[in-house]
Amino acid sequence: MTQVDLANPTLEFTDYDPTIAAQYGRSDSISYLMHNIADAIGLSDNLITLPLMFLFNLVMSWIIIYFIYYRVSRRRDYYVTFMLFSSAMFLLLWLMQILDIQTGFVLGLFAIFGMIRYRTETVPIREMTYLFIIIAQSVINSLSLKADELAWHQLLFANIMLIVLAAAFELWFNRRRTSTKIILYEKIENIVPERRQELIADLEARTGLKVLDLEIGHIDFLRDVAYIKMTYPLGKGETNTIDLITKFK
């Protein structure tokens, strides 16, 4: 099974015995599982490991993005962004392991990318959170290719926990979804606390929305106007991405 050259004491493996691998290693490791799949299909380990793990990461990311994020926000722009981020991060970390590139170098690339791109446009905190989840998931799945001590069921459990936590906090705690509008209000006499109900009734009549809460912001007595932040409920599957915009540049 093994040939030993006394002049050059190195081991050359000519065959692979799963029983010996299970005896000295982890029989439930990802590399061991991938070898069994490759052996059953009749392909080499290198040809089957990367495509299967890439597909696994893509499916796990798609579950979070489509069934949890997109189901609530309905934003196709971030849908595409998250899917591409997940795939790019997975392949980048896989290449990093092969070329022995330091992790700090890769993180530096994403830091530069974040400063260049995301500083030019305000990204909502919710979308940034999902972006971090997708990156973390891709890192876990990619680095597992070289983790001989990591069992396949541990990797599956880590991905399922991310999905469960995202679904719990998104779908359970945000069952009553709300949004806010910034309104430049001209009937300044209604902003006093004694006329709060009249202010709410006027806003509901003019906007057609149910006012859940409101805050009085900047007041301009020279023009007799005030900024009001109005909170209102969103319908099922409804979203609004420009609520806080008061004017276009």
Query: How many CA atoms lie within 13 Å of 21's alpha carbon, on the beta-carbon side?
Result: 17
pLDDT per residue as tens digits for the range 190-247:
999 999 999 999 999 999 999 999 999 999 999 999 999 999 988 766 667 677 666 6
Is residue 26 classed as helix, strand or coil in its secondary structure?
coil
Q: Is there a domain that residue 204 lies in?
A: yes
> Is 241 a member of any domain?
no
Residue 230, number of CB atoms within 10 A of its CB = 22
167 with 174: CB under 8 angstroms?
A: no
Same domain? For 164 and 194 the reply is no
Residues 223, 186: Cα–Cα separation, whole Å = 8
Q: Give how many domains the chain has, as a whole number.
A: 2
Query: By residue range, what is the domain housing residue 201?
Result: 178-233
The whole-model pTM stands at 0.62
Q: Distance from CA of residue 194 to its chain's centroid?
A: 45
Give yes or no: residues 114 and 159 share one domain: yes
More confident residue, 188 or 3: 188
Given 146, 172, 198, which residue is the final one in a domain? 172
Q: How far apart are CA 235 and CA 59, in angstroms?
A: 29
Alpha-carbon dihedral angle through residues 182, 78, 152, 54, given to the nearest 10 degrees: -170
Same domain, 184 and 160: no
